Structure formats: C-alpha cells, structure tokens
A and B are shown apart, each in its own frame.
Chain A
Amino acid sequence: MFEIEKIRGDFPILTQQVYGKQLAYLDNAATTQKPQSVIDAISHYYECDNSNVHRGVHALSERATAEYEGARKIIAAFFNARSEREVIFTRGTTEAINLIATSWGSANIKAGDEILITHMEHHSNIVPWQMLCERTGAVLKVAPINDDGELIIEAFDELLSERTKLVGAVHMSNALGTINPIADIIRKAHAVGAKTLIDGAQAAAHLAVDVQALDVDFYVTSAHKMYGPTGIGVVIGKENILAAMPPYQGGGDMIRMVTFEKSEYNDLPYKFEAGTPHISGAIGFGKAIEYIENIGFDAIGKREKELLAYATAKAEAFEGLRQIGTAKEKACVLSFVLDSVHPHDLGTIVDREGVAIRAGHHCAMPVMQFFKVPATARASFSVYNTESEIDALFAALKTAQDIFA
C-alpha cells in the first residue's frame, strides 16, 4: 500500500515554505531529499560511534567498522554483487568513473584502442575518457541519439568493433530522462570483447539493478541521488577485473605492508579505498537503500510513472512548451523550453512561486548542442512528489509567460 502522506512525512525538509509559498521540490535529478532515518543514522554515528575504521581495537572503532562494513553488505545485496569485495566506496559517481578510467584505463588502453560512449552522457562519463584518450592515444567514439533523445542502436552497432575496449553508457539520462537498453548494450559490447561501464547515478533510485543478471563489468552510482548523503558513491565491479587493476590512490588502508623499497597492496575492496573513508556517508547510504527497499521498486516505479504521465499530459497541453527528451522508455524527468521565456528566467520566476527546478545545461552540454538549445528547464520527480506540486509548476510557468507576454 503506497501512502503518500506517510512518505512525505519521512522527509522533514518538504514541509517548509519558501518566499511564503509551499515548497514544491522538483529538482530530484540534481539531488534527492533525505528521509529522517538517514539523517538520524548520520547523527547517531557522530553522537555515539564516531571513530576511525579498520584501525582501533577499542569499542568505538569496532562499532564504526561494523556499521561501515554493514553498509557495504547492504549495498552489495541491493545491487546483487557477488560479494562485498566487489563494492568500492568512492566520493560519488564522478570519482567512480575517474577511478576506472585511471586504474583500469592505464593498464588496459593503448594507442588506437577505442572507447565508445553515447551522445547523452553526463560530463562525468565524457571527460575522464577524453583524458584517458589524451594520455594513451586511444580514440573516443560517440554513438548518436535521435530527435526523441534515444540511442540509435543501429549506429551504436556500427561503431562497435574489435577495437572497442570499453563501452560507457548512462543507464538513465539526467537531462532527458531516457532509459537506455543497457542489457542489450552490455551483451553487444561483450560480444566484441569490450568491457562495460554503466553510469547509474540517475537510475539507481528508480530502477532495480542486478549486476549479475546484467553481467555488467562496472556499475557506478552516487548515494545522494538515492535519498542518501552527498560525498559518497560506489563502483560495483567484477572481482576478477578489479583484482587485476592497479591501485587508484596510494595511502593508508589500501596497503598491507609498507617499506621504503616496496609496498604490498591490500585486498579488495580496500585496495581502492586509500585514506579514512566517508564513514558516516557510507552508513547513511546503507540506510537510504533500506528506505528504498522498504517502499520497493514496484511501488516506486508505479508511482513515478503516474507522476511523469501527469506532468507529460500537462506539458503537451501547455502552449509554447517544447519537451526536450521524448523517449518511449523514460522516467522521472521533464526537460523543456518555453518559446517566450529563457530557462534561467524561468528558473528564477518559478523559484519565487516556491517551485524548485533546474535551469541549465545539466552537465550535458553535448545534449544541449544536439537539440540546439543553450539550456533547458528541468522538473524531475521522486516518489514523494504529488500532482499538486506539478500543478504548482505549471501555474508558475503561466506566471512566467504572463510576465513576458
């Protein structure tokens, strides 16, 4: 049973007013709000258990270590990783991709190799590969999208070859809402011997992910888009691939033995976790995942479909509005431009009506270039949003049109 009032009650931030208007938070693709259980877990850690992990023999350190590693277990189960050794904590999706591009890339990519990505990638799944290509002489290939913002599979197939060493694709586009056929992409990449990295930053709070069923080599995501804290994310990687990769950063915790002549590296996953980690972040991430599991993806998916359908119908009926991103398979994102109002003016105007949306290029400048717009306005929905918040958005859009009439 999906009880919206109960869910909204879990998020203390949502009850507030801004500029005297009830807040309608529709910027969930940028970051989601945090339920009380996540906030409490983080507070509890600092109030009762704060200590460093994997080091002390005292009670606090043991509790901190148990909670930190407990979170890793929760995450491993959530994504159906083969073991906790496949779960590496990072600062977020961006660092996760940089880790793979740097560590796996330096060991496996040489001049003439190809990295294949899609035109709808976030900058964080473009720039690390460009940097790798600059270092190694490899070539970055980009699979095109169509006018609905969908990957053109035939073109992707043509770009894929024995030269392709890695395919990087976003699971759900943050700028368009498009859901990519990642199972198909992974299968095709493996058929030519390429490894796969799926950017799940936008998807992981909305779609169930089973890394074993997908057979994905690297699945990366961030906690803060899944009701968890900022500053923490993960690489879920295949153990045999991770084990063969060189370390990413050197320091404490990632070593077994250090002498000035030579250091011996720690086992997985610690080999990739140099320095004191974001302990409270990991604990909060674990709680956030429990929160998602308690609602369940069936209920989440059903509710978010209803919200997107409601918003899309309103958008189609709204004169002067052009949707950017109309993929058949999409979720949670309504990206658009208005004829008469620039997205940044729109952002300012709807903000004063209490409606929080994003206006800008969404860290996906190539997507903006494809649709020939400098920026879009983007409303993005989450399980706690309501139809009346969407009504507030469209009323605010009308206000903006009136100002510029």
Chain B
Amino acid sequence: MFDLRDLYMQVIVDHNKAPRNFGVLKAYNHDADGYNPLCGDKLHVYVNVNDDDIIEDISFEGEGCAISVASASLMTEALKGKSVSEFPATFNDFQHMVTADIAEEPDEEALGKLAVLAGVREFPSRIKCAVLCWHTMKSAVEDSHKVAVTE
C-alpha cells in the first residue's frame, strides 16, 4: 500500500514550511511567470546568469500547494552554480522521474535531492504541481516571455 508519507516526505514538508531561495533577486537577467489556472498555483522564477553561463543565483516567489513550493525550493538548490547548458538534461531527468513507471527507481546519482519528489508518480493529478517550476525555469532561461503552464 502506497503511503502518504511517500509523497509528503519530511524533506518536502520542510521545504514547504521554509522554502529556500524565496523572494526577488537583487540582480537578475532572466525571469518568468508560471501559472496553473485550474489549481491557482503561481510562481515567478528569477535567474542571474554570469558571463561564463553559470547560474550564479536563482530564486522564486509565489504561492501554491506543498508539492509546488517544495519542488521550486529544491529546484533552486539543485540549479544554483550549475551551467545553463546543463539545464535541459536536468529538466529531462526530472520530467522523466515524475512520469516514469512506478517500478523504476529514480536515478539518485543524476537527480540528487530532487529524487524525493519521485513519489508524485503515484498521484497523477499532482504531477503538474511538481513540474510547474521547471517549466517556469525553462521559460526564464529561454527568455520566451511566455507564462509557463503544466495543465
């Protein structure tokens, strides 16, 4: 029997209660909005990329359920210091993890702490909450000026 604690792991509860990198960056050169109209989750992601293409700083603000807030918080931790060119691969790894077959173990080596979100696979209506921040980040680094949606 799948336990609710497999979704709401302590790490997720903690990140929801005290989200990391929350607020507006003093200096940023990319940003984007994310919005899931059906559930009302709203995010804004701020990114400061330096001349070497490194994500020097990243933050988010907004409101949403525990899954969307914790996912955004964990994402900012995972991406800070990484290069922008690495982002598409991480995006794909994360997307794969949350939509993969239940039997498939998440690739903890590639995903690190993000693997705590693997539990959303059991909750199809909540996958969109976990990926909203990633789509918003994608809009930001691509400067698409489109509001990201995952519904």
Tell me the residues in window 1-32 of chain B with beta carbons closer than 8 Å to chain A beta carbons: 1, 4-5, 7-8, 13, 16-17
Name the contact of A344 in the complex, choosing from B4, B5, B42, B126 (C-beta under 8 A): B126
| Contact of A404 with B126 in the complex, beta carbons under 8 Å | no
Chain B residue numbers with a CB within 8 Å of A368 are 40
Chain B's closest residue to A365 (CB) is: B40
| Contact of A345 with B65 in the complex, beta carbons under 8 Å | yes
| Contact of A360 with B40 in the complex, beta carbons under 8 Å | yes
Given A399-B4, A403-B8, verify A348-B123 contact (CB < 8 Å): yes
Chain A's closest residue to B1 (CB) is: A20
Q: How far is the CA of A139 from the CA of B39 in the complex (A)?
A: 30
Q: How far is the CA of A376 from the CA of B126 in the complex (A)?
A: 17
Q: Does A271 contact B (CB under 8 A)?
A: no
| Contact of A403 with B13 in the complex, beta carbons under 8 Å | yes
Chain A's closest residue to B129 (CB) is: A344
Chain A residue numbers with a CB within 8 Å of B39 are 344, 359-360, 375
| Contact of A404 with B40 in the complex, beta carbons under 8 Å | no
Chain B residue numbers with a CB within 8 Å of A20 are 1
| Contact of A374 with B40 in the complex, beta carbons under 8 Å | yes
| Contact of B40 with A375 in the complex, beta carbons under 8 Å | yes
| Contact of B5 with A374 in the complex, beta carbons under 8 Å | no
Chain B residue numbers with a CB within 8 Å of A341 are 66
| Contact of A348 with B7 in the complex, beta carbons under 8 Å | yes
Chain A residue numbers with a CB within 8 Å of B103 are none
Shortest beta-carbon distance, B37 to chain A, in Å?
A: 9
Q: Does B86 contact A (CB under 8 A)?
A: no
Shortest beta-carbon distance, B108 to chain A, in Å?
A: 23
Chain A residue numbers with a CB within 8 Å of B65 are 342-345
Q: How far is the CA of A23 from the CA of B132 in the complex (A)?
A: 31
Q: Does A361 contact B (CB under 8 A)?
A: yes
Q: How far is the CA of A361 from the CA of B125 in the complex (A)?
A: 16
Chain A residue numbers with a CB within 8 Å of B13 are 403-404
Q: Does A44 contact B (CB under 8 A)?
A: no
Q: Does A352 contact B (CB under 8 A)?
A: yes
Q: How far is the CA of A375 from the CA of B42 in the complex (A)?
A: 12
Chain B's closest residue to A374 (CB) is: B40
Chain A's closest residue to B10 (CB) is: A403
Q: Does A349 contact B (CB under 8 A)?
A: yes
Chain A's closest residue to B39 (CB) is: A344
Chain A residue numbers with a CB within 8 Å of B4 are 348-349, 352, 399, 403
Shortest beta-carbon distance, B90 to chain A, in Å?
A: 25
Given A345-B66, A345-B67, A374-B63, verify A361-B40 contact (CB < 8 Å): yes
Q: How far is the CA of A45 from the CA of B67 in the complex (A)?
A: 46
Q: Does B38 contact A (CB under 8 A)?
A: yes
Chain B residue numbers with a CB within 8 Å of A359 are 39
Interface centre among A341, A348, A360 (most CB of B within 10 A): A348
Tell me the residues in window 305-360 of chain A with beta carbons closer than 8 Å to chain B beta carbons: 341-345, 348-349, 352, 359-360
Chain A residue numbers with a CB within 8 Å of B1 are 19-20
Q: How far is the CA of A359 from the CA of B4 in the complex (A)?
A: 17
Q: How far is the CA of A375 from the CA of B126 in the complex (A)?
A: 15
Shortest beta-carbon distance, A75 to chain B, in Å?
A: 33
The 8 A CB mask of B88-128 against A (1 = contact, 0 = none) is 00000000000000000000000000000000000101100
Q: How far is the CA of A385 from the CA of B8 in the complex (A)?
A: 30
Shortest beta-carbon distance, B34 to chain A, in Å?
A: 14
| Contact of B40 with A348 in the complex, beta carbons under 8 Å | no
Q: How far is the CA of A375 from the CA of B66 in the complex (A)?
A: 14
| Contact of B63 with A404 in the complex, beta carbons under 8 Å | no
* A residues with CB within 8 A of B: 19-20, 341-345, 348-349, 352, 359-361, 368, 374-375, 399, 403-404
Cβ contacts A to B, 12 pairs, < 8 Å: A342-B64, A343-B65, A344-B41, A344-B65, A344-B67, A344-B126, A348-B4, A349-B4, A349-B8, A374-B42, A375-B39, A403-B8
Besides A348-B126, A403-B5, 8 other A-B contacts (C-beta < 8 A): A342-B65, A344-B64, A348-B4, A348-B7, A361-B40, A374-B40, A375-B39, A375-B40
- The 8 A-B pairs at the shortest CB distance, nearest first, are namely A374-B40, A344-B65, A342-B65, A345-B66, A403-B8, A345-B65, A375-B40, A352-B4
